[in-house]
Amino acid sequence: MRSEASVLHLDLDAFFAAVEQRDKPSLRGKPVVVGGTGGRGVVATASYEARAYGARSAMSSGEARRRCPPGTAFLGGRFAAYSLTSRVVMDLLRELSPLVEQVSVDEAYVDLAAGGHALDVESLTALAHDLKERLHTATGGVRGSVGIASSKTLAKIGSELDKPDGLLVIPAGSELDVLHPLPVRSLPGVGPATGDRLSSVGVRTVADLHERSLTDLVTLVGQAHGSGLYRLARADDDRPVVPDREAKSVSAERTYATDLTDLATLEHEIGSLAQRVVTRLQKDGTAGRTVTLKFRRYDFTTLTRSQTLTQPFDDVRTVADVARRLLAGIDRTGGVRLLGVGVSGLATYVQGDLFAEDPEPVADLEEDIDAVPEPEAVRAVPVWHPGQDVEHAEMGRGWVWGSGLNRVTVRFEGPRTAPGPVRTYAGDDPDLSPADPPDWRSDG
DNA sequence: TCTGGGGTCCTAGGACCC
DNA sequence: TCTGGGGTCCTAGGACCC
């Protein structure tokens, strides 16, 4: 908690629906629901007109249809438009401060102290008012709610309390006055499960929470969550505004209109999910070490299976092969409602121009790189993927990082100058064809 | 027409190493 | 011949958020 209200939280109001209403004037003033329109769809965003009829985020689309009147627009979503509009807003925020932490397409924190702004309540109110107006103009009609307080949590609660089109400054010193009357469920991080546990011991408001001892709370909801709640009840939150957080995992999943049972179909679906994940991995110039398969049965029971490999990978074949092997160990009786494929344990690599004259130094990126020499060449080499039959090796392009006798170390070509997935094969001819596989091995 | 899709963080147990 | 802890990594599941 800072001594001044210098953290701003912006939350765009009914964002997806607002963009639709902006682009289609006939939808303005009418209930609009954006989300999955199929039999198993859920609501992503309901306009405030639709909320008046009881439509809510995460509700099944069927339920929303039942609640909303005829004439309600049910739309599938145009994510390119949302993302473009989001960028306009985030650019405006970056004019306020170099420290902007984007949480999602429609939400961000801004460190106003880092932007050198006057932090008295009057100035902050004027700043927020001005931001809201500029945002509305720049986006062509989207509105947002702003909270400004001495911490991220309080700023977020502030924007939430005055929605929609809100503006709430919580002056330093008044945090507990705002916090204590609120239901615990309104604290970020307190969902249905924690809410029920707290309620079962008579904790309903933040004031109730404030009366409980640290040990009580830790016993009730665990170490991390318990101490977090203890601090929250005291407005004790000093988390910094952090721009550009690195992603820790990448995943893709799909719920099928009807449950899948056929193994060949499941394996095919895993292939297309793996492709989606790998496309993003490669675009980000990153690679991962762990593949996770997510599996939801016909009855909604959900399980995950994962496997960690010794080397990072960023190719479809590895991801798909590992995921298919994980699938083989799962009882598929009754049918599969959802499949997901994820990659985690991401390693971050320096992006750079492949042919830059003065490449980024790679030596100190990771300890185990120290011994690796500069790449000698980029050339076509056979590429083997962990878990793959040697017979199915392909030709690929890779950086050759040192070819010794009977041994060539290859890194995948990609937008990076630092270590990526390493594939080594033994053999004295670096131009061996896949039809004539050498004695393959995977090795650092 | 019950329950999307993309994430983060935490817990807990077992393996393994020192 | 009984019996340590601590630390880290991996796996599985769960809570929560937008």
Give A247-294 pLDDT, tens digit per residue.
Answer: 999 999 999 999 999 999 999 999 999 999 999 999 999 999 999 999
Mean pLDDT of A306-312: 96
**Does residue A343 or residue A400 have the better pLDDT?**
A343
Whether the Cβ atoms of residue A108 and residue A66 lie closer than 8 Å to each other: no
Q: Give the residue from A348, A378, A393 where a domain finishes.
A: A348
Is position A52 within any domain?
yes
Tell me whether residue A353 is annotated as binding: no
Check whether residue A336 and residue A270 sit in a common domain.
Answer: yes
Is position A187 within any domain?
yes
Check whether residue A374 and residue A289 sit in a common domain.
Answer: no
User: Which pLDDT does position A32 carry in this prediction?
Assistant: 98
Can you tell me the distance from the alpha carbon of A49 to that of A73, in angstroms, rounded to the nearest whole number?
11
Whether residue A63 is predicted with pLDDT greater than 50 in this model: the reply is yes
Parallel/antiparallel/unpaired status of strands A32-35 and A43-46 = antiparallel
Q: How far is CA A224 from CA A152, A197, A198, A231, in A?
A: 18, 15, 15, 11
Q: Which two tokens stand for residue A234?
A: 């005291």
Is position A307 within any domain?
yes
Check whether residue A228 and residue A253 sit in a common domain.
Answer: no
Check whether residue A226 and residue A258 sit in a common domain.
Answer: no
Is position A279 within any domain?
yes
A134 backbone dihedrals φ, ψ, rounded to 5°: -65, -35
Check whether residue A326 and residue A416 sit in a common domain.
Answer: no
Distance A272 CA to C11 C1' (A): 25
User: Which pLDDT does position A348 carry in this prediction?
Assistant: 64
User: Which pLDDT does position A443 carry in this prediction?
Assistant: 32
Question: Please, what is the average pLDDT of chain A?
Answer: 84
Cis-peptide, bond into residue A164, ω within 30° of zero: yes
CA-based radius of gyration for chain A? 26
Q: Which two tokens stand for residue A53?
A: 């009829």
Mean pLDDT of A60-89: 96
Q: Give the residue from A348, A378, A399 where a domain finishes.
A: A348
Distance A113 CA to C7 C1' (A): 39
Classify A24 as helix, strand or coil. coil
User: Which pLDDT does position A409 carry in this prediction?
Assistant: 39
Whether the beta carbon of A66 falls within 7 A of nucleic chain B: the reply is yes
Q: Give the residue from A80, A100, A126 where a domain finishes.
A: A80
Check whether residue A225 and residue A276 sit in a common domain.
Answer: no
Which residues of A spanning 201-230 put their CB closer than 7 angstroms to strand B? Answer: 222-225
Helices (H) and strands (E) in chain A, counts: 13, 18
Whether the beta carbon of A22 falls within 7 A of nucleic chain B: the reply is no
Whether residue A96 is predicted with pLDDT greater than 50 in this model: the reply is yes
Smallest Cα–C1' distance to nucleotide C17: which residue has it? A189
The burial of A301, by beta-carbon neighbours within 10 Å (0-12 exposed, 13-18 middle, 19 or more buried), is given as: exposed
The burial of A293, by beta-carbon neighbours within 10 Å (0-12 exposed, 13-18 middle, 19 or more buried), is given as: buried
Query: Which nucleotides in chain C lie closer than 7 A to a protein CB?
Result: 9-18
User: How many domains are contained in chain A?
Assistant: 4
Whether the Cβ atoms of residue A93 and residue A146 lie closer than 8 Å to each other: no
Whether residue A385 is predicted with pLDDT greater than 90 in this model: the reply is no
Is position A198 within any domain?
yes
User: Which pLDDT does position A440 carry in this prediction?
Assistant: 35
Distance A278 CA to B10 C1' (A): 27
Distance A252 CA to B7 C1' (A): 11
Mean pLDDT of A320-337: 97
Nucleotide nearest to A198 (CA to C1'): C15
Check whether residue A374 and residue A326 sit in a common domain.
Answer: no
**Does residue A93 or residue A404 have the better pLDDT?**
A93
Please list the residues that pair with A19 across neighbouring strands.
Answer: none
User: Which pLDDT does position A401 carry in this prediction?
Assistant: 38
Nucleotide nearest to A277 (CA to C1'): B6
Q: Which two tokens stand for residue A228?
A: 């977090």
Residues in chain A: 444
Check whether residue A424 and residue A386 sit in a common domain.
Answer: yes
Give the CATH number for residue A278. 3.30.1490.100
Mean pLDDT of A42-58: 97
Whether the beta carbon of A356 falls within 7 A of nucleic chain B: the reply is no
Tell me whether residue A111 is annotated as binding: no
Nucleotide nearest to A298 (CA to C1'): B3
Can you tell me the distance from the alpha carbon of A330 to that of A65, in angstroms, rounded to the nearest whole number?
36
Distance A228 CA to B14 C1' (A): 28
Nucleotide nearest to A253 (CA to C1'): B5
Q: Give Cα A357 to chain centroid, integer Å.
A: 35
Check whether residue A256 and residue A224 sit in a common domain.
Answer: no
Whether the beta carbon of A306 falls within 7 A of nucleic chain B: the reply is no
Can you tell me the distance from the alpha carbon of A359 to that of A168, in angstroms, rounded to the nearest whole number?
49
Residue A389 gets which letter from DSSP?
A: -
User: Which pLDDT does position A437 carry in this prediction?
Assistant: 35
Q: List, for residues A410-442, the tens digit of each pLDDT value.
A: 444 332 333 333 344 433 344 433 333 333 333
Whether the beta carbon of A61 falls within 7 A of nucleic chain B: the reply is yes
Check whether residue A338 and residue A390 sit in a common domain.
Answer: no
User: Which pLDDT does position A1 carry in this prediction?
Assistant: 87
Domain, as residue range, for A70: 15-80
Is position A298 within any domain?
yes
To 10 degrees, what angle do helices A121-139 and A79-96 make?
Answer: 150
Q: Shortest CA distance to A316 belongs to which of A352, A341, A351?
A: A341
Can you tell me the distance from the alpha carbon of A326 to that of A294, in angstroms, rounded to the nearest whole number?
10
Smallest Cα–C1' distance to nucleotide C18: which residue has it? A104
Q: List, for residues A348-365, the tens digit of each pLDDT value.
A: 654 333 333 333 333 333
User: Which pLDDT does position A347 carry in this prediction?
Assistant: 84
Check whether residue A376 and residue A329 sit in a common domain.
Answer: no
Smallest Cα–C1' distance to nucleotide B11: which residue has it? A222
Check whether residue A291 and residue A263 sit in a common domain.
Answer: yes
Please list the residues that pair with A34 across neighbouring strands.
Answer: A45, A75
Nucleotide nearest to A339 (CA to C1'): B5
Give the CATH number for residue A57. 3.40.1170.60
Percent of chain A residues past pLDDT 90, beyond the cut: 77
Give the CATH number for residue A208. 1.10.150.20
Token pair 């765009």 in the structure block, residue:
A12
Distance A222 CA to C3 C1' (A): 29
Catalytic residue status for A49: no
Distance A431 CA to B7 C1' (A): 42
Smallest Cα–C1' distance to nucleotide B2: which residue has it? A60
Is position A290 within any domain?
yes
Query: Which nucleotides in chain B lie closer than 7 A to a protein CB?
Result: 1-12
Q: List, for residues A176-221, the tens digit of each pLDDT value.
A: 999 999 999 999 999 999 999 999 999 999 999 999 999 999 999 9
User: Which pLDDT does position A279 carry in this prediction?
Assistant: 98
Classify A16 as helix, strand or coil. helix
Smallest Cα–C1' distance to nucleotide B3: which residue has it? A60
Question: How many CB atoms sit inside 10 A of residue A405's CB?
Answer: 7
Is position A387 within any domain?
yes
Nucleotide nearest to A104 (CA to C1'): C18
Catalytic member of A49, A101, A107, A175: A107
Whether the beta carbon of A44 falls within 7 A of nucleic chain B: the reply is yes
